[in-house]
């Protein structure tokens, strides 16, 4: 299941130092160290700001991935079974939550990795590129985030889709038998097709979303609220999904066909 659009950093603004870090009326050594670190963050900006964005992106991305995956998993199972069915094959409507637990275990680090790469990369590129090339920053950040997170996402997708199609009863069993029959490479079946589909999807989805946000803010002359962000994210995901669905079908069939060959 594709990740939802979540921006942990929101609108960029200068990092402000909370008043509590001033500690004007104390000489405690520990508080002096904290105050010194706060001063460094304000003066240098880069180290502390970078790690703050990284931390927030990892947490927000991981939680968002879990929530979206759990909510939309039955739809994702139906999608997988429809994509695999051929020549009028019957689609099974039972067990729509097959493999959910194991999938969530992989979605958490994968989503955290994606946003942990996407947000810092986006902000760095937006600082060095001219304003008119903001779309390039969003495209590059989305593609890089997708590439890094694919290390975890591909094995997760292989196990998930084979369980969704009824090949295994549990995630541990799926991992054990896939490695036993196909070697460790079996966990990365369809890796090339995954990148061929998901890198364009990630890059386009987040580029469309970010550009829509920029245009909407300029037209409305105010910051977007949560429902408006959700609406733009849904449109960006739907638009990109229509463009990349053929590649998604190829990816799904390659990920599940190895089992048929080795049966």
Q: How confident is the model at residue 55 (pLDDT cuts 50, 70, 90)?
A: confident
pLDDT of residue 26 exceeding 80: no
137-192: pLDDT as tens digits? 999 999 999 999 999 999 999 999 999 988 888 899 999 999 999 889 899 988 99
- Quote the CA–CA distance of 209 and 49 in Å, as a whole number: 24
- Quote the CA–CA distance of 137 and 84 in Å, as a whole number: 35
* Domains of the chain with bracketed CATH: 19-262 (1.50.40.10)
75-95: pLDDT as tens digits? 999 999 998 887 666 778 888
Residues above pLDDT 90, as percent of the chain? 47
The pTM score is: 0.74
Identify the pLDDT of residue 89: 67
99-144: pLDDT as tens digits? 888 889 999 999 999 999 999 999 999 999 998 899 999 999 999 9
């Amino acid at each position: 299941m594709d990740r939802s659009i979540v921006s942990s950093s929101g609108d960029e603004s200068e990092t402000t130092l909370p008043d509590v870090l001033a500690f004007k009326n104390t000489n405690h050594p520990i508080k002096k160290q904290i105050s010194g670190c706060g001063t460094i963050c304000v003066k240098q900006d880069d180290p502390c700001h970078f790690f703050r964005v990284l931390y927030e992106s990892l947490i927000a991305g991981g939680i968002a991935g879990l929530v979206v995956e759990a909510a939309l998993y039955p739809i994702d199972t139906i999608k997988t079974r429809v994509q695999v069915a051929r020549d009028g094959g019957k689609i099974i409507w039972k067990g729509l939550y097959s493999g959910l637990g194991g999938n969530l275990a992989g979605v958490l680090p994968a989503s955290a990795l994606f946003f942990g790469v996407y947000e810092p990369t986006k902000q760095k590129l937006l600082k060095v590129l001219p304003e008119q090339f903001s779309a390039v920053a969003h495209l590059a950040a989305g593609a890089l985030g997708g590439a890094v997170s694919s290390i975890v996402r591909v094995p997760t997708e292989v196990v998930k889709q084979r369980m969704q199609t009824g090949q295994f009863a549990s995630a541990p069993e799926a991992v054990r038998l896939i490695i036993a029959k196909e070697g460790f490479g079996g966990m990365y079946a369809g890796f090339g097709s995954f990148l061929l589909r998901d890198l364009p999807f990630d890059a386009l989805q987040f580029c469309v979303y970010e550009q829509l946000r920029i245009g909407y803010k300029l037209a409305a002359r105010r910051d977007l609220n949560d429902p408006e962000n959700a609406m733009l994210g849904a449109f960006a995901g739907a638009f990109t999904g229509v463009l990349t669905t053929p590649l998604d079908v190829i990816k799904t069939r390659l990920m599940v066909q190895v089992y048929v060959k080795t049966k």
